[in-house]
Structures are given as C-alpha cells and as structure tokens.
Structure 1
Amino acid sequence: MLRLRECVVSLLLSSPSTSAIFPLRRFLSATASAPIPPNPSGFAVEEYLVAACGLTRAQAIKASPKLAHLKSPANPDAVLAFLSGLGLSGADAAAAVAKDPRLLCAKVDKTLAPKAVGLAGIGLSRPEIARLVSLGPECFRSRHIVSKLQYYHPLFGSFHNFLRAYERSSYLLSRDLDKIIKPNVAFLHECGLAACDIVELVMYRRGILTTNPGRLRAMVACAEGIGVPRGSGMFRQALYAVAFQSEEKIAAKVDYLKTTLRWSAAEVGIAVSKAPMLLRRSKDTLRSKSEFLVSEVGLEPTLIAHRPIVLTYSLEGRLRPRHYLLKFVKANGLLDRDHSYICAVGLTENVFVKKFVCPHIEAAPHLAEDYVAACRGEVPTRFIFD
C-alpha cells in the first residue's frame, strides 16, 4: 500500500498542471483512512459492495460475480480512496461501481491516476474528470480516453458541451475514433455542416455520429431524397428528420400528409423540403393542426404547403390564441388594415404582443390578460363569437 501511495504521489507531482486540481493531502488522507486488513481469508465481495461501496443489495448481487476473483479489499479500498480524492461523493462512487464493478479491480498507480493526470494535462478540471468518471467509469479505464477527448474537445467547443452529448450518447467514448467517428465527422463536413451543426445533431439525434459510416451515408442520401440538397441551410434539419427512420416509415408519413392536408405530390415535396421536421411529427398532431388551420382559420391547403412552418407551431400555445386575438381585434374594428394570419403567427412572441396587443390596451383593457389566458389553453368569453 505504501508503494501504491508513493506511485500516485509521484504521478500527480510530475504534472505541474495538476497541482491545483488534485489536493494531494485529501487524497492521501482518504487513502490512509481506508482500513485494509493484510490478507483476510474468505473476503465477502457482496458484503463489501454493500458496506464499503454503498450499493444496494440487488446491485451488489448483480455486481459480485464480476469481482469473484478478489481475495482482499486492498485494491477496492485504494480505488474508493482515489475516487474520493477526485471529489466523487459516496453516492457518485456507488453509482460508478454499480455501472462498472470492474472499476474496483483497476490499478490506481498504473491505470486510474495516469488517466486523471493525462486528462488534467489537456485542460480538464478535477470536477470535470469526476463527472466523466461518474458518467462512464468503464470508458475512463480505457487506454484511449485521453486521445479521444483531445479530439472531441475542439469539435464540441468545450468539455461541458461534450459531457452534455456524452450523457445522451455514451458510445462517443467507446466507438473507434479512426474507423467510425473521424470518417463520419469528415463526411458531415463534406455535406456542408460546420462543427456547431454536428454538435447540434449529436445533442438531439443521439447515435448519428457513432453509427456505421455506411448508414450515415444512407441517411444523407435520404435527406437529399426529400428535396434538401447538401450545403443548404435546411440540410441539418433534414438529416435530423430522417435519421434512423426507414424508407417505409417516411413514405407512410408522406402519404399521410397528402391525405390529411389534401396536398398533391408536388405540394408535399415543397412542404417537406421547407420544413423537414414534419416527418417527425405524430399523425395526431398533424391532423389536429391541419383541421384547425383549414376548418377554423380558413387557410387553403396550398398556402400551408408553401408555409409549412406553421404546422410546427404549438396548437394550444400559439396557433389558437393568436387566431382568437386577431379575430377579436378585427371584429372590434381595432385594426386599420387586414393582417394575414399566417404572417402574424410567424412573428416572435414579443413582436406579436407589441404589434397586436399593446396598441389596443386602451380600447380593450382586458386584451392582454385574455390573450395570456388563451395561451394557457383557456378561451375567454370575450374571444367567443357566434
């Protein structure tokens, strides 16, 4: 144990950049406080996981077969002390061990401490390293962890952004960097996507960067197939919309749009190319919005096809309340000219209120509160017309 502590101290002191990151005194005190019997016989792994690591009995039963070869708590105690030195709470350490029981078998001096030093050397803070261990203890043990994060850091712009993506897609650290990740990133760059676009894709469509390169190329071909060319401003949304959807499912959604909105094939093509996210909307959502826009607002299906973004707005939070308000101000002669609903519904909330609510507060004192009520899903009596 003395040799272990000396090795860890040597590793940590050998990297000046880590002097402020790893409080050695805290690490050593945590290590020293861990009771380590010399060579106890009959080491009970399951009991140790519960008593020392804080796992539930069920977690301990599941994890103990992976640690059946352990004959002593010496190495697990050292690992727990190391995790404490990084700043992991008892609950965080327990969660990490539950995810990766073999973490307790890792050598602190040969595996864990060098990884921590390497990550500190590329700019990660101690809390960031601790968070990484909590999220992916198995990946933290990987010999490629430092080189992978060296690659990801500039791509994601910050370690915080990477962690957000990693929480959604743990394969980012387990997939082969040279065979999968780098080819996919290079191909997406060829398609006109900047690093920030790629990050957005990873944040909201997990797996898109870690999928097989051949499958990614098929997704790109599918995005082009719905009328959105590479390099266009809408391409990222199109790729997001078709990712991991089968051709059959996309074709079924296109047919549903034709039937529900009475669109021709050409009109569907126009609508989908302008608002690819329609392919991600549920059938019930599309039906309720189309019925409202056509039957209640009175919009022509052809107009909606050319302004399909209207189908992506919230029915209860935007489409209905703005329709009610415009209908009220028109019926009460408060507008000096007619205004297009489809243009008004596209305005930001602040602009809409400034243009259609604020000018009429004197003539209609309850207009603002009625509009707020309508946005909550209520229908004020003043907004009801026969």
Structure 2
Amino acid sequence: MLRLRSCIASHILSPPSTSPFFHLRRLLSATAPPIPSNPGFAVEDYLVDTCGLTRPQALKASRRIPQLKSSSNPDAVLSFLGGLGLTGAEVAATVAKDPKLLCSDVEKTLAPKVVGLTGLGLSRSEIARLVTLAGTHFRCAPIASRLQYYLPFFGSFENFLRPVKRSSYLLGFDLERTVKPNVAFLQECGLGDCDIVKLCAVVPRMLTANPKRVREIVACAQGIGVPCGSGMFREALQAVSLLNEEKITTKLEFLKRMFGWSDAELSHAVSKAPVLLRRPEEALRRRSEFLISEVGLKPAYIAHRPVIISYSMEGRLRPRYYVLRFLKANGLLDQNQDYYNTIVLSEMAFVEKFICPHKESVPELAEDYATICKGEVPTNFRST
C-alpha cells in the first residue's frame, strides 16, 4: 500500500517539462545524500531569491521558521508545489501565507494529502488552487476527510471554494463539534442545504462560529422582524451576522431618522430589505437626500419599496430618474409613470422601453443616458 501511494503521488506530482520547477525537480531527484545543514544558508535570502517573496515578506516569514538551516527540505517543497502546477507568483504567495510549509516533509505529510484529495476526485489543478487558499490548514488539518463532507454538501468544488476564498478557517474547524451542529440548527430554522450554501458563500462564519453565537445571530434576525422560514431569512442572517445588538439598534435609529419613518414603517422596510443594515451611513444619507429631496418620494412610499435604497445611485437611481424627468417634460411619457417600476427593470428592459422608442424623435437620448451613467449630466437633462 505504501508503495502504491508513493507511485500515485509521484505520478500526480510529475510536472510538465514547461514547468518553471522542472529542472529543479530533476536535480532534486538525484541520489546524492542530503546535506543536513549549511552554515552559510540565509533563510531571508532564500525566501527572496528562490521563493520570490519581497524583502519585507521574507523578513516577516523568516521569523516563523528559525529552525530552517539548509535549502534541502525547502527545495523539495518547491518541487512539490511546482509538480502541482503552481506558478512562481502562486508559490511566493503560498509561502508568504504559510512559511512553515517549507519545513514540511513532502513524502510523509504533503504527498499523502495529495493522494487523499485525488481519491475524492480532485484534479491536480484543483488541488493546486486549494493549496494557494488553504494556508496552514493544508499541512495541519485532516483536509481530505473534511472535504469528503464538504464536497457533497456544497455540491461542487467551485461552490466550496467560494467561502474558502473569504475565509480558509472553514478548513480548520472540527466538523463534529462545530460545523455539523451549525448546519443542523440552520436546517431546523427552515433553511435548505442550498440556502445554507448560499449563506456561507457570503458569511462562512455561519458554519465555523461557536454554535451559541449562531443561535444569537438567528435571534437577531428574528428581532428585526424576519421569522425563520421566511423568504428574507437568509438575507437577514447575512445582514446581522457581523453586528451586535448595539450596532443594530444604532443603525435602525439612523434609518428611522434619515428616511423619516414611523416605527411601523421602519419595521416593514427592514423586514423586506434586511440588507439596509449593511449599507454604510453615508450611502444611506445620499440616497435619502436624492429620493426624498430631488425625486420627491414620500417616506411611506420608500418604506413599502425599501429595495429601491439598495440600488446604485450612479448606475441606476439617478440616470433613470433623469431620463424619466426628461421624457415627461417633453410630453413623451405619461406623467403617472411610476419611478419604482422603472428602477426594478433590468438594464436591457429599461433601454428597450424608455430609450429605443425615441431614437427618431430624440436621437441624442441614448448618448445622454450613457453619459449620465458615467457620472456626468448632459445639458439636455440639466434644463428639464
């Protein structure tokens, strides 16, 4: 079995001749006995000259590997990374993230992990991507056994990588004590596996946080008026996951004051668009000033259509308002045309409905619309 595992690992890690580490690997495969130490070996210089780190990165990394006394083992690790297909830049980033990787035993630690991951169906390129993202967890955690759970749960390797890109800690937490209890609790709250996957793609800590903290987050979501099992529940969890009760209260008071809402209107707005709790105060202030002072919308109108606040000012709210105002001022559009109904249209639908029909009567409209989407106000729109 050991010989079979060694053969599999050797086959997987054999890099193409075009690999930047090909000649290094061939050199390392020689039968000459390794040199145990090198009095003239300088870790910092090796990190810069051979691994590609910047001098500041090398200085920081070298402090974490004082036990490294020769290039023998690091050379073997670099050959291993090259065999997986990592580029020079990826190797540098990986070593900077986890300098102790250079001290790992390739045959006893790293190669067996590759064999385990290959057994789960991962390709060499997928394993390489995982190495670049996993940090210390690749060499320290039982990574294959954890992926054996995660891959079916997330549905695909790509789905699994989304939360890992945000936080490699997903690979470091105990499945039985932390991850599985959190998944079970979220399922009890009415979320299906697909919803949990989407939630964790944005907020990985919903799987890795202490189960007690996850229950507190769920309670916060319910506290803003979004019950378990509702269509907005997943978005509510995303909105409150990084906020404590004090911050939520402060943001609610700000929204109420900024948009002139009653308690009932505030509750309705937040329950329909929990994402408002994640918006910066300055962004909310700008939208309030624009929607109420310039467009002339009533607080109650906005409260019952709170998603309008989440749209881009420059990309959607302002350009479409200017188009509607221009068309109405020139008798080309019904005065009762609702602003919100134009905001929720896709870009293609908006152009087809409000720009294309006026190509002959107002040939400059399309260009003016494109201009205002870039942040400039054309003369035609200023005068209306």
Which of 153, 171, 174 is the matching residue for 2:172?
Answer: 174
Q: Which residue of 1 aligns with 2:315?
A: 317
Cα drift, residue 303 of structure 1: 1.2
Q: Distance in 2 between matches of 1:24 and 1:303?
A: 63
Per-residue CA distance 1:97-123 (angstroms, 9 max, x = gap):
332222222222211111101101101
Unaligned runs of 5+ in 2: none
Cα drift, residue 374 of structure 1: 2.1
Q: How does 1:119-198 map to 2 (within 5 A)?
A: 119-198=117-196
Q: Distance in 1 between matches of 2:302 and 2:162?
A: 36
Asked if structure 1 preserves the Cα contact closer than 8 Å seen for 2:308 and 2:343, the reply is: yes
Q: How does 1:19-58 map to 2 (within 5 A)?
A: 21-23=12-14, 30-34=24-28, 37-40=34-37, 42=39, 44-46=41-43, 47-58=45-56
TM-score if structure 2 supplies the norm length?
A: 0.89
- Structure 1 range deviating more: 261-270 or 183-192: 183-192
Alignment: residue pair count: 377
Q: Distance in 2 between matches of 1:258 and 1:111?
A: 57
Q: Which residue of 1 aligns with 2:278?
A: 280
Cα drift, residue 230 of structure 1: 0.9
Asked if structure 2 preserves the Cα contact closer than 8 Å seen for 1:37 and 1:73, the reply is: no
Q: Which residue of 2 aligns with 1:4?
A: none
Unaligned runs of 5+ in 1: 1-6
Asked if structure 2 preserves the Cα contact closer than 8 Å seen for 1:45 and 1:68, the reply is: no
Asked if structure 2 preserves the Cα contact closer than 8 Å seen for 1:45 and 1:64, the reply is: no
Q: 1:274 to 1:66 in 2, by over 3 A?
A: closer
Q: How does 1:225-304 map to 2 (within 5 A)?
A: 225-304=223-302
Per-residue CA distance 1:18-55 (angstroms, 9 max, x = gap):
95x44378799744403865445526252444444344
The alignment-based identity, stated in percent, is: 56
Instruction: Report whether the alignment pairs 1:221 with 2:219.
Output: yes
Q: Distance in 2 between matches of 1:291 and 1:41?
A: 68
* AA of the residue aligned to 1:243: S
* AA of the residue aligned to 1:214: K
Which of 69, 94, 111 is the matching residue for 1:113?
Answer: 111
Q: Which residue of 2 aligns with 1:3?
A: none
Q: Distance in 2 between matches of 1:292 and 1:39?
A: 70
Asked if structure 1 preserves the Cα contact closer than 8 Å seen for 2:239 and 2:274, the reply is: yes
SS of alignment partner, residue 150 of structure 1:
helix
Q: Distance in 2 between matches of 1:28 and 1:292?
A: 60
Per-residue CA distance 1:259-284 (angstroms, 9 max, x = gap):
12211101100110111111111222
Q: 1:111 to 1:39 in 2, by over 3 A?
A: closer
Asked if structure 1 preserves the Cα contact closer than 8 Å seen for 2:13 and 2:80, the reply is: no
Per-residue CA distance 1:54-112 (angstroms, 9 max, x = gap):
44444444334544444544333322222222222333333323322222222222111
Q: Distance in 2 between matches of 1:324 and 1:25?
A: 58
- Structure 1 range deviating more: 239-248 or 194-203: 194-203
Q: Distance in 1 between matches of 2:85 and 2:160?
A: 20
Q: How does 1:6-85 map to 2 (within 5 A)?
A: 10-13=4-7, 21-23=12-14, 30-34=24-28, 37-40=34-37, 42=39, 44-46=41-43, 47-85=45-83
Q: Distance in 2 between matches of 1:366 and 1:281?
A: 35
Q: Distance in 2 between matches of 1:311 and 1:135?
A: 35
Asked if structure 2 preserves the Cα contact closer than 8 Å seen for 1:45 and 1:70, the reply is: no
Q: 1:282 to 1:143 in 2, by over 3 A?
A: closer
* AA of the residue aligned to 1:112: L
Cα drift, residue 381 of structure 1: 1.8
Question: RMSD over aligned Cα, in angstroms?
Answer: 2.7
- Structure 1 range deviating more: 285-294 or 214-223: 285-294
